Amino acid sequence: MGFVKDFKDFAVKGNVVDLAVAVVIGAAFGKIITSLVADIITPLLLQPALDAANLKNIEDLTAFGTVKYGSFLSAVISFIIIAFVLFLIIKGITAMKKKEVATPAAPEAISKQEVLLTEIRDLLKR
């Protein structure tokens, strides 16, 4: 029973669960970005270039008849979009954290002892 209990403790740790959620969200986010590139960016921005090359998809671009650099370009575009979106998300989170840290706590009221000690210090300086 020790092995099963140890595995259960490991499997339900916060880090493992957080990692599993991140992987699932990452996979879904990847599909969204792939759709963004294939369904929006390619038709709007790259379609004139594809029409000039007599192609329907960016993945069909080839060099020397065998090197499919269009798939590579599609992957690069997807990477740049993902990196940019993650940059914006992290920048927003950092800005929110700075606002939380930037609000200083109200200064504490000076106690009677501190007032007396300050007066004594000032008298001794004179």
Give residue 106's pLDDT: 66
Give residue 40's pLDDT: 81
103 confidence band (pLDDT: 50, 70, 90): low
pLDDT digits (tens, 9 = 90+) for 9-22: 777 776 777 788 88
Structural domain containing residue 42: 2-125
- Mean predicted lDDT score pLDDT of the chain: 79
Give residue 104's pLDDT: 65
The closest alpha carbon to 74, from 109, 36, 117, 125, belongs to: 36
User: Greatest CA span in the chain, whole angstroms?
Assistant: 93
Give residue 101's pLDDT: 65
Range with the lowest mean pLDDT among 12-21, 34-43, 51-60, 97-106? 97-106
DSSP state of 57: S
pTM of the model: 0.50
Domain count for the chain: 1
> Which CATH number goes with the domain that contains 43?
1.10.1200
What is the rounded CA–CA span in Å between residue 81 and residue 70?
Answer: 17
What phi and psi, each to the nearest 5 degrees, are found at residue 109?
-70, 140
Q: What percent of the chain has pLDDT over 70?
A: 91
| CB-based contact 50:58 (threshold 8 Å) | yes
Question: What does the pLDDT average to over 61-67?
Answer: 77
| CB-based contact 43:57 (threshold 8 Å) | no
The helix (H) or strand (E) run that includes residue 24 is helix 14-35
Q: Which residue has the higher pLDDT, 15 or 101?
A: 15
